[in-house]
Amino acid sequence: MFRLNQDYLKLPGSYLFSTIGKKAGAYRAAHPDRTVISLGIGDVTQPLVPAVIDALHRAVDEMGHAETFRGYAPDLGYAFLRDVIAGWDYRKRGCEIAPDEIFISDGAKGDSANIQELFSADAQIAVCDPVYPVYVDSNVMAGRTGTYDAEKGTWSRVIYMPCTEENGFCPELPEKEPDLIYLCFPNNPTGSALTKDQLQVWVDYANRIGAVIIYDAAYEAYICEENIPHSIYECEGARTCAIELRSFSKNAGFTGTRLGFVVIPKDLKSGDVMVHSLWARRHGTKYNGAPYIVQRAGEAVYTQQGQEQIRAQVAFYMENARIIRESLKKTGFTVYGGVNAPYIWMKTPDGLSSWEFFDRLLEDANVIGTPGSGFGPSGEGYFRLTAFGSRDNTIEALDRIRRFYE
């Protein structure tokens, strides 16, 4: 008789987005005459840019001819893509990352969930609180997180690093020493960013205690301020302690097209074993690569034209972010984020819980956001709005909020 992986059974369930979906569905069914606007989900709405579409068409045509047809991609990804990434994302920023330290993938969600496989079963992880849930859930599935306290919403073997108003949503070094430290900046959900000096503290700490930082830079393209690092490798010493995850989802609208990459410097070692060689082994065994046509689409992102077009798209979303931030502030809300990230993290009014405010906003303004408590206990009392909507919807949603709360 088969038995299931007991670690999967420990997962508390996808409470957050399914509950949001159910509540929104029930509201729509009860009020078919009202238009509900969602600024809740972190998915893009703008189409792929022309440079990417052209590259996709060309690559599709190549696949239809025997001379240019491609089968399985090389294990690490095509050199044409790894070369432009190494040049544009790293060399241009003064970071020393070689093309063969870059592993092309189908996105950062899978990478952020899978990377834990490389580390021992008893490795202790540290995460920010609130947090992108994949980091914790993937470690739950791997049996690394101990027991769940349903009341607190925490795991006994996870080190939580609260990111609060008091510390400016920048985690403090934990009292207990972790083996793996997940950092995501610019941050989902709080929209905060770390300065280079703040990130350097983490790199020095990880090197000192022999920990690995898994640095999720999925929102790197949204950085607008000068002293915010785009890559952890801008920090001294990061090559010996950090893995970086990147995505084409939010900078170039690839949420449905799927492309990302992992950077593992060859200097990151346990004894004399390179972490790089383990990930290469895993890639070779478990993954057959992102599609050729999608890797060509990714290459087009790094052309002059592609860069101009995707920057315009990011600027469009950041204008939404500005509209949301300014409008909420004018209405009297306390608001964070939205400057180097497409997320606005607002404090709920009148001491309402995150879910109470969700219900109130849906009822009063017919607007959906994401309750902060869904991202971890320190998210209670906060609410996330995203800048990924259309301009009209964003303006309309904020007008409605202003009408009810001014």
Q: Interface with ligand PLP by CB under 6 A: which residues?
A: 42, 107-109, 112, 132, 184, 188, 216, 218, 247, 249, 255, 260
CB of 83 to ligand PLP, least distance (A): 21
CB 216 within 8 A of CB 183: yes
CA distance 118 to 348: 40
CA distance 400 to 389: 15
CB of 360 to ligand PLP, least distance (A): 26
CA distance 89 to 101: 13
Identity of the residue, 124 or 249, whose beta carbon is nearer to ligand PLP in the bound complex: 249
Identity of the residue, 218 or 361, whose beta carbon is nearer to ligand PLP in the bound complex: 218
Q: Is there a cis peptide before residue 186, judged by omega within 30 degrees of 0?
A: yes
Total Cβ atoms within 10 A of residue 344: 29
Identity of the residue, 44 or 346, whose beta carbon is nearer to ligand PLP in the bound complex: 44
CB of 31 to ligand PLP, least distance (A): 29
Identity of the residue, 49 or 365, whose beta carbon is nearer to ligand PLP in the bound complex: 49
Q: Of 311, 39, 6, 336, nearest to 148 (Cα)?
A: 6
CB of 352 to ligand PLP, least distance (A): 25
CA distance 164 to 338: 16
CB of 175 to ligand PLP, least distance (A): 25
Helices (H), 126-215: 134-141, 196-209
Which residues make Cβ contacts (< 8 Å) with residue 393, sequence separation at least 6?
Answer: 37, 39
Identity of the residue, 109 or 239, whose beta carbon is nearer to ligand PLP in the bound complex: 109
CA distance 55 to 296: 6
Reduced DSSP (H G I as helix, E B as strand, rest coil) percent helix, strand, coil of the chain, to 5: 45, 15, 40
Which residues make Cβ contacts (< 8 Å) with residue 122, sequence separation at least 6?
Answer: 144
Q: Of 212, 209, 163, nearest to 189 (Cα)?
A: 163
CB of 260 to ligand PLP, least distance (A): 4
CB of 40 to ligand PLP, least distance (A): 12
CA distance 215 to 233: 10
Identity of the residue, 289 or 401, whose beta carbon is nearer to ligand PLP in the bound complex: 289
Identity of the residue, 78 or 222, whose beta carbon is nearer to ligand PLP in the bound complex: 222
Identity of the residue, 313 or 327, whose beta carbon is nearer to ligand PLP in the bound complex: 313
CB of 184 to ligand PLP, least distance (A): 5
For the record, the structure tokens of 261 come out as: 């990459």
CA distance 182 to 185: 10
